[in-house]
Structures are given as C-alpha cells and as structure tokens.
C-alpha cells in the first residue's frame, strides 16, 4: 500500500537528519546513495519540494564529487552538507584529509553512516577513525532526535572553528523511528563570497605546514571543552560506563532494566573525537571503567592509562560485529560479578537474499554462465552481487573494482604466458559511472583484453532506486554507449538480457574479439529497467507461465536459476508462485526439458 507522508513528527533517523540539514540552513547538499544513509537525501528533496525551498541538491556521481561540490559552497561562507555511507568516505578520503587543513568559512557537515555488523557493506569500518585521522571533530548520535540536533550543532561548531565536522550515525539511528520536534526553516545564507586567499585555498607544502599547525590548535581547543556528560552518578560507584552512539542507548536501557543505576555510573560522549582531559580523571576515580562504542575503539584509544579500562581492546566486548543490548548486558553483568542470563540464538531461517523475480540481472547471469562456463567473473557492488547465487560472481572488492580486476587477471595470465581464460567483468550502470570510467580508460590504454558486461537497469536499485547520470536531470543525460566509445572501446553492443539467446551469442562474439583475436575490451550493455524501480508498468507478453508434463524435476530452474517465483513442490517438481511471478518468460530459456511454457 502506498502511504501518505508522515502524519505527525515521527521521523526515521535519516529524515530527522534531513530536517537538521534544512533547519541548519544548508544551501548546497550532495550525496551518493549507500545503506544506511540513502534516505537522508530523499528526505531533503521531499522537504525542499514541500516547502518550495531553493537549495541545490544533487545525487552526485560518487562520494568524492559530492564532497567537493558541497565543500566549495562552504569555502564561500555558506552552509553545506554531504552524505554517504562509511565505505563511500573511503572514496572521498582525499578531499576530507585536505579540507581539514584548508578549513571552511561556512559550516560544512559530513554525514558518514556506519554499518556495524555489517549488514550491507564490504567492511564494518569506523568512520570516527577517519575523523580522527583527518583531525576533525565527530558527533556520535544515539537516537533520531539527537541526530537532528547534532547536525545543527555540527554546523555551529564547524563555523565557529572553521573546520569540517562529521556526524556519524549507525544503522539503528538511521533506521529508527522516534517523535522528533521540528524547528523553523531558516532562510539560508546570503550571497556567496570567495575571499581569494591562495595561502589557504591553494596552499603549497610550506603553507600546508602552517595550516596543519592551525588545525592542531583548533582540535586542542575543541578537546579541552569536550568531556563525557554524566547520566547516572551514584555515590561511590565502582564501575563507570562511558559510552557513545547507540551503545550508549543500550547501556542506558540495560542498566535500568538490571536496576543498577544506583550502583553503576553512566557517562555519555557526544563527540568521541577529540576527547578532553576529563575522561582520564573518570578512569582514575573508578575501580573499573567500561567503554562502549562501535564498531571500533576510538574513545578507548584516547585514554592515556588503560590499565583499569575494559572494552573492545581487552575483548570484554568482542572486537568485531555490532554491539547489542545482549552483549552490553553480558559485559556489565560479568564485571559486576552477576549471573549472566543466557540468551538464545537469533531466530534462524528466513529466506536467503535473492534477486527479485524477473530481475534482468538473473537473465544476464544465466546467459553468461551458458555462454562462457569456464570464465572468471570479477563483479562489483550492487544488487547484482547476488549473482553469487548463480555462481556468476567470483570477486567483489569495492566500487568499480570489477573492471580493474578483469584487467589484472588478463595482465597476470598474459605475463605468465599462460592460457587466458574467458574473463567477463560485470558492473552495474551506476557503479560504472561511479568508479568504472577511469578503470575502463586504464584497461583500454594498457591493452587489456576482456569482456565488460554492463548491467544497465537505469537506477541505483540496491539503495532504493536513486537516479544515475543517465537519468533525466537538470543537465544532459549521459549515454553509456558514447561514454564507452569515448574511452576507446571499439566493440560495443546493446542487448535486452531478457533475450537470452541473443545475449549468449553476443557474449561468445565478445569473448572471441577479446580473447582469441586479442583486440581489446569488448563491451556489452545489457539494458532492461529494474523491476522494482523502473519496470513496474512494463508490457508483458500474454499468457501464463506453466510447467508442462515434460518436467523431470531436475531442479535446474529452482536451484540453479533460483527465481523466487519458482519453488520446489512436494515431489521436487517446481511450482510457480503466482503472487511473485512477473511473467517475464526468462525461465522458458532455462529448462533443459523445455517443460516451462507460456499458455
């Protein structure tokens, strides 16, 4: 059911942060989608159109681009925000490090959303580390309401110290719901003014040294005022828990549920970096201190004397995975010498993730396995990583790596004089724009020979269907055909992956071009709109899909093709789940007995 917008002020954490950005008066907001941060930009755009605001918002081509576009508005004395997921910040690390030195004129807030667990990322890295690495302050909200307030505080702090400021929410802030009071939408900043100052904005190494000194001064000053806030302060507490972010919320609930707020002191850290001197006093004044933070140890490492400190470093808390109310309760109970309530395993079962019924990626992977079964298949980040289930994905490193890894495979085999296997990189359209273009240029220029299968579904599907540079926008639409041609590719074919036989034939031709004839990179663009975010109204052929009598229950369609609409029936014969089947007809090409037909 399509629902209307919120009736009250109950907001998702990501929506709350969007309000923080708007109320904070940002005039330029940029982002690249990534779980769990993606809904922030959607909400900013929603508020923008609902209230007729004129702020510039953009889904940029990648995080580095988003960062630099937004940052520059803050060079001009105006407020700006940029949002991304934690691994997205790796892509934007270059401008992050440098902008800490140059500083800003207008408030600049970087929201980097972490994914402890991880639930949908290649690492569970801690963005607060990157804040401390860059020497910029970082807020660590524990709830949606606080996340909104911290975004606004971050703008103020950024402006006061002319320094970029990070806000680092985690999944259970981004995706929690809570009543959040809304404030006034401010008018936004005045006209941009660029104060020419080459020693700052274009500093040479000698001046960079001076900027670094200045940065250190700012950080020291922020640290002096940054001390843990007391929450429970019982007299003579033996244990002090110092926590930030969602682990603070767990600690609060758990200590109360245990009835220990008269015995255990609780302190809350809003700004885990840079920590002030008071935390060392707290540690000295208690028999034991437990530090709760995630996913890594940032507060803990800033404590000078850690003899009495427990946390992730001494493995009181496991040093990987997310914190939970359970392991927080266990740690506190253990330290207090109390009985630990054994908790069951999380509920097993549930279905394993799978591409949607009728997903064009499944058709493309099926064709790939048929055409070049002996191939090596480097792949990339997106829904199509689930091509793993079809055994058509061999590697998944980070955004855009598929193309470089295909080149790496080729160079390695060629250098060794070994027989080169078919190499087929698969990459989604948005990932191709994000980091694939320089990779393709490099591959072509270095003479690598492989097949590049671009899975073009016209959207950033995994994160909720955000637009790509090929979508309609204020400027020109990019065309992947022209782009690959511009990168120097001579073999470019476009095909609808639903036409499985044609795609199989093209893949073989492409492999011949790349491998046997060694003529370079062959590109196939498999273009079909995403079923969820683009193809809903698509016209389908008439007639229902049925399983005929020829079926010998081989299981190819249910296990290897694994369309969720094809499920194993009682005797191992497949049944079609009508509620899920979208009538795409791709399974017609899959059954070796040709038992699946359209009637």
Partner 1 sequence: MDLQMVIVGLGGEGIIFMTRVLVEGFYRSGHPVISTETHGMAMRGGSVTSQIKIGDYQSPLIRYGEAGMLLGTSVVEAQRNRPFLREGGTLFMNTDQQGDYCVDATKIAHGLGNPRGGNLVLLGYVLAHLAPAISLEPFLEVVKGLSPERFLSGNVKALQEGWRVALKADKKRRKGKGIRRHG
Contact positions vs partner 1 (CB under 8 A)? 1-4, 6-10, 35, 119-120, 142-144, 172, 175-179, 246, 248-250, 252-253, 256-257, 324-326, 329, 341, 343-344, 347-351, 353-357, 383, 386, 461-462, 532, 564, 580
User: CA 377 to CA 233: how far, in whole Å?
Assistant: 58
H-state helical runs in 263-420: 278-285, 299-302, 325-336, 360-371, 401-416
Two structure tokens written together for 379: 């792949």
Two structure tokens written together for 291: 């530090």
Query: How big is the site for ligand SF4, counted in residues (CB under 6 A)?
Result: 27
The residues facing 81 across adjacent strands are: 29, 109
Residue 586 binds which of partner 1, ligand SF4, none (CB < 5-8 A, kind-dependent):
ligand SF4
584 binding ligand SF4? (CB under 6 A): yes
User: CA 451 to CA 523: how far, in whole Å?
Assistant: 6
Residue 246 binds which of ligand SF4, partner 1, none (CB < 5-8 A, kind-dependent):
partner 1
439 binding ligand SF4? (CB under 6 A): no
Measure CA 336 to chain center: 38
Closer residue to partner 1 in complex, CB, 218/330: 330
Closer residue to partner 1 in complex, CB, 109/461: 461
Closer residue to ligand SF4 in complex, CB, 243/581: 581
Q: Which residues contact 532 (CB under 8 A, 6 or more apart)?
A: 356, 461, 465
256 DSSP 8-state letter: H
Contact 271, 302 (CB under 8 A): no
Angle of CA points 351, 353, 356, to nearest 5°: 110
The position carrying tokens 């369609």 is 557
CB of 434 to partner 1, least distance (A): 18
Residue 373 binds which of partner 1, ligand SF4, none (CB < 5-8 A, kind-dependent):
none
Residue 228 binds which of partner 1, ligand SF4, none (CB < 5-8 A, kind-dependent):
none
Residue 593 binds which of ligand SF4, partner 1, none (CB < 5-8 A, kind-dependent):
ligand SF4
Residue 553 binds which of partner 1, ligand SF4, none (CB < 5-8 A, kind-dependent):
ligand SF4
CB of 505 to partner 1, least distance (A): 30
CB of 506 to ligand SF4, least distance (A): 21
User: CA 431 to CA 380: how far, in whole Å?
Assistant: 8
User: CA 82 to CA 58: how far, in whole Å?
Assistant: 10
596 binding ligand SF4? (CB under 6 A): yes
Residue 401 binds which of partner 1, ligand SF4, none (CB < 5-8 A, kind-dependent):
none
Closer residue to ligand SF4 in complex, CB, 449/545: 545
User: CA 169 to CA 564: how far, in whole Å?
Assistant: 34
CB of 55 to partner 1, least distance (A): 27
Q: How far apart, in Å, do the first and last CA atoms of the chain sit?
A: 30
Near ligand SF4 in 507-546, by CB under 6 A? 545
Near ligand SF4 in 315-374, by CB under 6 A? 357-358
H-state helical runs in 51-109: 63-75, 86-91, 93-102
> Which one among 48, 556, 567, 597 touches ligand SF4, defined by CB under 6 A?
556
Strands across the sheet containing 491-495? 424-428, 451-456, 522-527, 491-495
Residue 383 binds which of partner 1, ligand SF4, none (CB < 5-8 A, kind-dependent):
partner 1
| Residue 194 CB burial class (10 angstroms; 0-12, 13-18, ≥19) | exposed
386 binding ligand SF4? (CB under 6 A): no
> Which one among 583, 589, 597, 599 touches ligand SF4, defined by CB under 6 A?
583
Contact 467, 478 (CB under 8 A): no
Other CB atoms within 10 Å distance of the CB of residue 486: 12
> Which one among 76, 290, 547, 562 touches ligand SF4, defined by CB under 6 A?
547
Stretch of 310-318, 397-405, 437-445, 577-585 lying at the interface with ligand SF4 (CB under 6 A): 577-585
Radius of gyration of the chain (CA): 27
554 binding ligand SF4? (CB under 6 A): yes
Closer residue to ligand SF4 in complex, CB, 387/585: 585
Q: Contact positions toward ligand SF4, by CB under 6 A?
A: 357-358, 545, 547, 551-557, 563, 565-566, 574, 576, 581-587, 591, 593, 595-596
């Amino acid at each position: 059911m399509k629902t209307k917008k919120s009736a009250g002020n109950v907001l998702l954490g990501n929506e709350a942060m969007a309000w923080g950005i708007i109320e904070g008066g940002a005039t330029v907001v940029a982002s690249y989608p990534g779980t769990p941060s993606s809904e922030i930009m959607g909400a900013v755009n929603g508020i923008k159109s609902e209230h007729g605001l004129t702020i510039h918002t953009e889904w940029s081509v990648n995080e580095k681009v988003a960062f630099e576009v937004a940052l520059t508005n803050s060079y001009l004395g105006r407020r700006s925000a940029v949002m991304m997921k934690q691994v997205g910040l790796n892509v934007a690390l270059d401008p992050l490090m440098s902008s800490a030195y140059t500083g800003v004129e207008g408030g600049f807030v970087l929201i980097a959303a972490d994914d402890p667990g991880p639930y949908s990322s290649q690492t569970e890295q801690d963005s607060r580390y990157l804040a401390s690495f860059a020497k910029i302050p970082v807020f660590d909200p524990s709830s949606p309401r606080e996340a909104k307030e911290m975004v606004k505080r971050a703008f103020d702090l950024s402006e006061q110290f002319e320094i970029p400021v990070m806000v680092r929410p985690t999944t259970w802030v981004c995706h929690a719901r809570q009543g959040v009071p809304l404030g006034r939408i401010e008018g936004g900043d005045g006209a941009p003014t660029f104060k020419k100052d080459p020693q700052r904005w274009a500093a040479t190494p000698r001046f960079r040294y001076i900027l670094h000194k200045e940065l250190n001064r700012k950080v020291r000053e922020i640290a002096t005022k940054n001390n843990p806030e007391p929450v429970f302060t019982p007299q003579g507490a033996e244990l002090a828990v110092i926590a930030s972010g969602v682990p603070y919320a767990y600690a609060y609930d758990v200590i109360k549920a245990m009835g220990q707020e008269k015995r255990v002191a609780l302190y809350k850290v809003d700004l885990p970096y840079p920590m002030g001197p008071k935390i060392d006093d707290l540690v000295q004044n208690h028999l034991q201190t437990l530090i709760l933070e995630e996913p890594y140890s940032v507060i803990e490492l800033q404590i000078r004397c850690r003899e009495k400190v427990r946390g992730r470093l001494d493995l009181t808390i496991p040093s990987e995975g997310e914190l939970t109310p359970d392991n927080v309760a266990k740690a506190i109970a253990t330290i207090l010498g109390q009985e630990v309530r054994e908790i069951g395993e999380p509920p097993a079962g549930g279905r394993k993730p799978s591409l949607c019924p009728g997903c064009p990626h499944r058709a493309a992977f099926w064709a790939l396995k048929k055409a070049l079964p002996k191939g090596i298949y480097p792949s990339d980040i997106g829904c199509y990583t689930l091509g793993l289930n079809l055994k058509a994905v061999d590697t998944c490193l980070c955004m855009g790596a598929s193309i470089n890894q295909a080149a790496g495979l080729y160079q390695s085999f060629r250098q060794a004089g070994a027989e080169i296997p078919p190499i087929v990189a698969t990459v989604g359209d948005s990932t191709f724009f994000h980091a694939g273009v320089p990779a393709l240029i490099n591959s072509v220029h270095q003479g690598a020979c492989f097949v590049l299968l671009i899975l073009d579904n016209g959207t950033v599907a995994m994160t909720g269907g955000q637009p790509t540079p090929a979508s309609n926008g204020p400027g020109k639409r990019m065309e992947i055909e022209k782009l690959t041609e511009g990168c120097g590719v001579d073999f470019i074919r476009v095909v609808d992956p639903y036409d499985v036989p044609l795609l199989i034939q093209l893949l073989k031709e492409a492999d011949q071009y790349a491998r046997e004839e060694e003529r370079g990179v062959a590109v196939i663009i498999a273009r079909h709109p995403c079923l969820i975010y683009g193809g809903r109204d698509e016209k389908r052929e008439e007639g229902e899909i049925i399983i005929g009598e020829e079926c010998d229950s081989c299981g190819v369609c249910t296990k290897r093709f694994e369309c969720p609409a094809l499920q194993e029936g009682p005797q191992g014969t497949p049944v079609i789940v009508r509620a899920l089947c979208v009538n795409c007809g791709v399974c017609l090409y899959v059954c070796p007995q040709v038992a699946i037909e359209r009637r």
